[in-house]
């Protein structure tokens, strides 16, 4: 019985960790058939994310084949770690240094879209929700992931913003803060619309990485369902033929 309870707790723990905290998630509205968006997202990933975060389950060679890129395009534009074409997309930061600087090594992002409840919407909202907070080690906090240890690596693109809250009382008279939105206090090199589009491309790439075979799986699923429907019709008429003389 103790072993059974332990197993159940292990199964429940991940669900609890990713439970909805009540934060509104914006729709990423990504299209996994849009290879151009995923290609741009790969560029943003290697320029802004790969310094800290690895994609240990994604190979450059597989990415090139899936996204319609040549070996030369990948090696000339997307490989900055000295990796070979057939190797996985490791990050450039040594784990020991990462633990020293950040307290813990930055997580691998291979399955980030599948791991988080909310998936692509969670990641899209998270990357756009950093705000200034002088009390934090890197001077920023995140509305979606409170007290996150990650710095805002995209701040030069979107600029700097502050989070605006108002205080409300519930039916019991307890005060709590309600998020009203962000106020940009310093512009970045991109307009808000351009930055949102950039983040959407980055999320599209990471959604592809989370399951590279998903498009093929979904297309095959349509054929499988169609086959089963036709087979069911044939099986029904065959059953009627076999049992027509049985009373």
Q: Mind giving me the DSSP string for 70-90?
A: -HHHHHHHT--S---TTSEE-
Q: In this predicted model, what pLDDT tens digit does every residue of 183-209 receive, in sequence order?
A: 999 999 999 999 999 999 999 999 999
- Which of 94-98, 103-107, 223-227 shows the lowest mean pLDDT across its residues? 94-98
Q: What is the DSSP letter of 234?
A: H
| Average pLDDT for 134-160 | 93
Count of positions (residues) in the chain? 247
- 78 confidence band (pLDDT: 50, 70, 90): very high
Q: In this predicted model, what pLDDT tens digit does every residue of 3-32 receive, in sequence order?
A: 433 433 333 444 333 344 568 999 999 999
Question: Tokens 């498009």 sit at which residue?
Answer: 215
Q: Is 120 exposed, middle or buried (0-12, 13-18, 19+ CB in 10 A)?
A: buried
- 247 confidence band (pLDDT: 50, 70, 90): low
The mean pLDDT value of the chain amounts to: 85
Q: Mind giving me the DSSP string for 146-169?
A: TT-S---TTHHHH-EEEEEEEEEE
Backbone angles phi, psi at 182, to 5 degrees: -110, 150
The number of C-alpha atoms within 13 Å of 204 and in the hemisphere containing its C-beta is 23
Residue 173 has a pLDDT of 75
Q: Are 99 and 122 in contact (CB under 8 A)?
A: no
Q: Mind giving me the DSSP string for 3-39?
A: HHHHHHHHHHHHHHHT---S---------TT-HHHHH
Residue 103 has a pLDDT of 75
User: Positive or negative CA dihedral for 236, 238, 242, 247?
Assistant: positive
What is the CA angle 43-137-195, rounded to 5? 30
What is the CA angle 122-45-101, rounded to 5? 85
Instruction: Reply yes or no on whether the pLDDT at 235 is more than 60.
Output: yes
Q: Are 60 and 160 in contact (CB under 8 A)?
A: no
Give the pair of three-digit tokens for residue 138. Answer: 């890197």
Q: For the chain, what is the radius of gyration of the CA atoms? A: 24
């Amino acid at each position: 019985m103790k072993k059974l309870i332990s197993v159940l707790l292990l199964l429940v723990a991940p669900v609890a960790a990713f439970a909805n905290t009540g934060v509104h998630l914006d729709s990423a509205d990504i299209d996994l058939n849009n290879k151009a968006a995923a290609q741009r997202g790969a560029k943003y990933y290697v320029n802004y994310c790969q310094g800290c975060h690895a994609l240990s389950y994604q190979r450059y060679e597989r990415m090139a084949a899936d996204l319609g890129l040549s070996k030369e395009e990948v090696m000339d534009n997307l490989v900055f770690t000295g990796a070979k074409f057939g190797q996985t997309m490791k990050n450039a930061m040594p784990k020991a240094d990462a633990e020293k600087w950040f307290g813990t090594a930055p997580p691998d992002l291979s399955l980030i879209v599948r791991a988080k409840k909310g998936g692509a919407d969670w990641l899209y909202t998270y990357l756009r929700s950093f705000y200034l907070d002088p009390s934090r080690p890197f001077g920023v906090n995140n509305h979606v992931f409170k007290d996150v240890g990650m710095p805002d690596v995209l701040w030069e693109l979107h600029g700097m913003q502050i989070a605006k809250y108002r205080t409300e009382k519930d039916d019991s008279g307890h005060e709590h803060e309600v998020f009203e939105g962000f106020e940009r206090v310093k512009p970045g090199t991109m307009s808000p619309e351009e930055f949102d589009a950039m983040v959407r491309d980055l999320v599209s790439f990471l959604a592809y990485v989370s399951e590279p075979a998903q498009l093929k799986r979904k297309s095959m699923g349509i054929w499988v369902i169609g086959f089963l429907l036709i087979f069911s019709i044939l099986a029904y008429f065959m059953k009627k033929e076999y049992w027509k003389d049985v009373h």
